[in-house]
Amino acid sequence: MMDARRSAMSRIISVWCLSMVTLVLAAAGDDGQQLNDCSFSMKKQILTCERIALKDSNIGNTIGTATQMLVIRRSANLTITPGFHSPPFRLLTSYHLTECPDLQVSPFSFQQLPNLKYIKIIDNTYTTVASNTFYGLVNLEVLSLNNNSINTIETDAFNGLSSLETLELTHNNFKTVSAHVFASLHNLRSLFLYHNNIEVLEDDCLFGLSNLNVLDLTYNRITRIKTAVFDAAPVLTQLYLSFNQIETVEGDFTSEKLEFLYLQNNKLRNVTDTLFNSLVNLVDVDLSRNKITSFAPDAFINLTRLNNLNYKDNNLERPVHLQFADKPPLITS
Burial code (b: 16+ CB inside 10 Å, e: under 16) for 173-186 equals: ebebbbbebbbbbe
Of 199, 207, 277, 27, the C-alpha closest to 191 is 207
Diameter of the chain by CA atoms? 73
Query: Is 297 a residue whose pLDDT tops 60?
Result: yes
Residue type, 36: N
* Per-residue confidence band for 6, with pLDDT thresholds at 50, 70 and 90: low
Residue with more model confidence, 33 or 196: 196
Query: Is 227 a residue whose pLDDT tops 90?
Result: yes
| Residues near 56 by beta carbon (within 8 Å), at least 6 away in sequence | none
Query: Is 192 a residue whose pLDDT tops 80?
Result: yes
pLDDT reported for residue 1: 44
Q: What is the percentage of the chain residues whose pLDDT exceeds 90?
A: 83
* Per-residue confidence band for 11, with pLDDT thresholds at 50, 70 and 90: low
Weakest mean pLDDT among 16-30, 110-124, 294-308: 16-30
Query: Is 137 a residue whose pLDDT tops 90?
Result: yes
**Interval 63-78: pLDDT, tens:** 999 999 999 999 999 9
pLDDT reported for residue 2: 46
Weakest mean pLDDT among 8-17, 159-168, 261-270, 292-301: 8-17
Q: 190 in the Ramachandran plot: left (φ > 0), alpha (ψ -120 to 50) or beta?
A: beta
pLDDT reported for residue 31: 46
pLDDT reported for residue 326: 84
Average pLDDT of the segment spanning 98-112: 95
What is the secondary structure of 133-187 as a DSSP string? TTTT-TT--EEE--SS---EE-TTTTTT-TT--EEE--S----EE-TTTTTT-TT
Weakest mean pLDDT among 81-85, 117-121, 246-250: 81-85
Average pLDDT of the segment spanning 7-19: 54
User: Coil, strand or helix: which one is 227?
Assistant: helix
Of 212, 211, 206, the C-alpha closest to 225 is 206
CA-CA distances (angstroms) from residue 44 to 26, 109, 160, 251?
A: 10, 25, 30, 55
| Residues near 94 by beta carbon (within 8 Å), at least 6 away in sequence | 18, 19, 68, 69, 70, 116, 117, 118, 119, 120
Report d(CA 243, CA 260) in Å as an integer. 16
Weakest mean pLDDT among 10-14, 142-146, 258-262, 313-317: 10-14
Mean pLDDT, rounded, of the chain: 90
Average pLDDT of the segment spanning 237-252: 97
pLDDT reported for residue 53: 77
Of 275, 284, 280, the C-alpha closest to 310 is 284
Domains of the chain: 1-174 (3.80.10.10)
Average pLDDT of the segment spanning 143-151: 98
Helices (H), 164-323: none
